[in-house]
Amino acid sequence: MSDPSELIGHVKDAEAFHLPFGWEIVVPQPFESLGLHLTKFMIVEVVVAVAMVAVFVPFARRIVSGRPPRGRLGNLLEVMILFIRDQVARPAIGSHDADRFLPFLWTQFFFILFLNLCGLLPWVGSPTGALGTTGALALVALVVMLGAGMAKFGLVRFWLGQVPHMEVPLVLAVFVKPMIFVIEVLGIVVKHLILAVRLFANMFAGHLVLAVIMGFIAATAHSLLLWLGVTTVSVVGATALDLLELMVAFLQAYVFTFLSALFIGMAVHQH
Per residue of the chain (271 residues), give pLDDT as tens: 444 444 555 567 777 776 766 677 888 888 877 888 888 889 999 999 999 999 999 998 888 888 888 888 888 999 999 999 999 999 999 888 899 999 999 999 999 999 999 888 777 778 898 899 999 999 999 999 999 999 999 999 999 888 887 777 877 878 888 898 999 999 999 999 999 999 998 888 776 676 666 666 666 666 666 667 767 777 777 677 777 788 888 999 999 999 999 999 999 987 5
Whole-number Å distance between alpha carbons of 113 and 199: 11
Whole-number Å distance between alpha carbons of 268 and 147: 10
Closest to 198 (Cα-Cα) out of 266, 119, 252: 252
**How many beta carbons lie within 10 A of that of residue 209, not counting itself?**
17
Residues 6+ apart with CB under 8 A from 171: none
Per-residue model confidence (pLDDT) at position 5: 46
Residues 6+ apart with CB under 8 A from 108: 137, 140, 141, 256, 257, 260
Element (H, E) at 34: none
Whole-number Å distance between alpha carbons of 165 and 187: 18
Q: pTM for this one?
A: 0.85
Q: Exposure of 18 by Cβ count < 10 A (0-12 exposed, 13-18 middle, 19+ buried)?
A: middle
- Amino acid identity at 133: T
- C-alpha R_g of the chain: 23
Contact 27, 39 (CB under 8 A): yes
DSSP label at residue 164? P
Per-residue model confidence (pLDDT) at position 4: 45
